[in-house]
Structure 1
Amino acid sequence: MTGPRRSPRPGTGTWFLAVNPTAGRGRALEHAHRAAELLRTGGDDAVVLAAPDPAALVELVRDRLRASALTARALVVVGGDGMVHAGLGVLVELAGQGVAIPLGIVPSGSGNDLARHLGVPDRDPEAAAGRILRRLDEPVPRLLDVGRARFADGRTACFATALCAGFDAAVNERANRWRRPAGSAKYLGAVLVELLRLRTISYRLEVVDAAGAVREERREAMLLNVANTSSIGGGLRIVPDARHDDGLLELFSVAPMGRARFLRVFPTLFTGRHVGLDAVRIERVRSVAVDAADVTAYADGERLAPLPVRVDVLPSALRVLA
């Protein structure tokens, strides 16, 4: 999708680092400046782009990347999966216009699931920036598939990790309202609260499987995800074997069960041992349309829109320096 791109000569490029300056009580902004210092060691410039409002930050990033399309080394997102989500949309949009700019990640958020999947050092901005520098000149670029969600009202959103449409989306809704605790502890706490409202959801699906065959089905489930990478919620390894560069997505669901059994099953999501359970279903797909009553979809931990949604994959959409 992105096509070849001529890299700036050594010492003539610019790294753009996008960050929410209020995230982590200023920790993300500190990490952005520490990473920028290391990225400048090769003679390039490094510019930190910051805005507390997500929409304003997206506009700022888009404008600066368009103006520096020929000299931009990469967009480095500093934060969690929400920051990745914001940067991803800009990069996919520019790639569709013939402007191919790589993605770098300095994890500094509460989830960091894409960074975890890609093996990016956590809470260490210099180590993450060093990884980015080493990947810049690798002979075989590493490519990232991107999930795409299209809603009935015409809205479209891209995601890196997974789209959630069920119990896990309700958990995201609650967890995002909490400032503490951080990471998987926050997600676990929200899970325990949402267990009191546990319900079975009746889904209507149209699935295009890995071979291209199309089928329609109804599925009763508690959780349903369309995943591009392996984990959600700060380390829940819902699809441990997911690949980010195979041109496919993973349709993951958990059949209805009582609270007591769910509490026994839930810890296995952190280790991947849930994969062999009879209640768990994982299938590689090219696309899937999902509909259910009173369900709002989330992706990369960000609220999107109510169902129905059609999800497909943009294969090898971006180069990732990770």
Structure 2
Amino acid sequence: MTSTPPKRLVVAVNPAASFGRRRGVGADAAGRLRAAGHDVVELEAPDYAMLRSRARDALATADALIVVGGDGMVNLGVGLVAETGMPLGIVPSGTGNDTARSLGLPHDDPGAAIERLLVALQREPRSIDAARVSHAAGTRWYACMLSAGFDAIVNERANRMSWPKGPRRYTIALLVELARLRPIRYRLELDGVASERAAVLVSVGNGVSLGGGMKATPDAVLDDGLLDVLVVEPLSRSSFLRIFPRVFAGTHVTDRRVSIERARRIRIDAADVVAYADGERIAPLPIEIECVPGALRVLV
């Protein structure tokens, strides 16, 4: 039993979690939470839209939302609980798990993550910032990283491909877009200061990494009230391939063609670019991003 009163927990499981090597993580998490004395509502659905709807209804009588999956599930959770005061717990079981990495959670060991969650439920949640994205069709939230450049273009191509399945699809999309690499003309506005820049990559980090540990904004802080804006100036394909591996260590920031600025409000516009956040498709540019301090309470 817990040393604090039992809680009513909504556990939302990635719709794709019935496949692959981590298909039992959701049931394991729910079982361990019940064994600890909590009242658990376990939710599964065939797709994200239905899962989101079911979770929204269940949260009316809940004390916390627990998401089981990767960054896409974290994104779903953030969209449901940002600015509500409802705590969010994370059991990472995806391929990237970049939000978990930024929070210092076990990102490659679901069992250890469940143990950490059980301890966190006995403590006060941590308050961190979240980023609110406004676009032509509405508003979205994200916790870790937004991309609006080369990596987002690769994501967009991969999502349009019906073959092959799995990670190979992204590898092929990467090679196709690398062959077509060219600068994008951006119109940026950081806290009211406007500029036009040619770049191959623009990312806006609340957390540190994207793509499973690529430290795009290595010095980002989750609760400083600011977002880190990464801009990579035009590069040849050979230069891009030399810099790219350095992103995993965060040492790309020493290159003179790479810059990071901090801002609370950012506007990004460019032709034919779609923004992705936490690996999820957000909207075509233009978008406006605002860092909302303390908008998210997390169980860590």
TM-score scaled by length of structure 1: 0.86
Counterpart in the other structure of 2:238: 260
Counterpart in the other structure of 1:169: 152
- Report the Cα distance in structure 2 between the residues aligned to 1:241 and 1:314, rounded to whole angstroms: 18
Query: Where in structure 1 are there 5+ consecutive unaligned residues?
Result: 1-7, 209-213
- Report the Cα distance in structure 1 between the residues aligned to 2:21 and 2:3, rounded to whole angstroms: 32
Counterpart in the other structure of 1:32: 26
Counterpart in the other structure of 2:123: 138
Q: Deviations over 1:107-127 (max 9, x none)?
A: 111211101111221343321
What SS does structure 2 have at the residue aligned with 1:234?
coil
Counterpart in the other structure of 1:289: 267
Amino acid at match of 1:62: R
Q: Deviations over 1:268-306 (max 9, x none)?
A: 001111111101010111111111111111111111111
Residue 16 (structure 2) pairs with residue 16 (structure 1): no
CA displacement at 1:91 relative to structure 2: 0.7
Amino acid at match of 2:154: V
CA displacement at 1:252 relative to structure 2: 0.5
What SS does structure 1 have at the residue aligned with 2:117?
helix
- Report the Cα distance in structure 2 between the residues aligned to 1:28 and 1:309, rounded to whole angstroms: 35
Query: Where in structure 2 are there 5+ consecutive unaligned residues?
Result: none
Q: Deviations over 1:17-57 (max 9, x none)?
A: 11124336155541011112222233112222110211100
- 5 Å-filtered alignment, 1:21-100, equals 21-23=15-17, 25=19, 27-66=21-60, 68-69=61-62, 72=63, 74-92=64-82, 95=84, 100=85
Counterpart in the other structure of 1:191: 174
Q: Deviations over 1:178-198 (max 9, x none)?
A: 64238xxx7566433320111
Question: Contact conserved, 1:10 with 1:44, CA < 8 A, in 2?
Answer: no
Counterpart in the other structure of 2:281: 303
Give the alignment's Cα RMSD to 1 decimal.
2.1
Residue 100 (structure 2) pairs with residue 106 (structure 1): no
Q: Deviations over 1:152-200 (max 9, x none)?
A: x241110011111111111222344564238xxx756643332011110
Residue 204 (structure 2) pairs with residue 226 (structure 1): yes
- Report the Cα distance in structure 1 between the residues aligned to 2:116 and 2:253, rounded to whole angstroms: 31
Relative to 1, partners in 2 of residues 1:116 and 1:268: Cα closer, same or farther, differing over 3 Å? Answer: same
- Report the Cα distance in structure 2 between the residues aligned to 1:236 and 1:188, rounded to whole angstroms: 16
Identity %: 50
Amino acid at match of 2:116: R
Amino acid at match of 2:97: N
Aligned length: 296
Amino acid at match of 2:112: A
Residue 234 (structure 2) pairs with residue 279 (structure 1): no
Residue 132 (structure 2) pairs with residue 148 (structure 1): yes
Residue 171 (structure 2) pairs with residue 181 (structure 1): no
CA displacement at 1:317 relative to structure 2: 0.8
- Report the Cα distance in structure 2 between the residues aligned to 1:162 and 1:84, rounded to whole angstroms: 12
TM-score scaled by length of structure 2: 0.92
What SS does structure 2 have at the residue aligned with 1:39?
helix
- 5 Å-filtered alignment, 1:240-251, equals 240-251=218-229
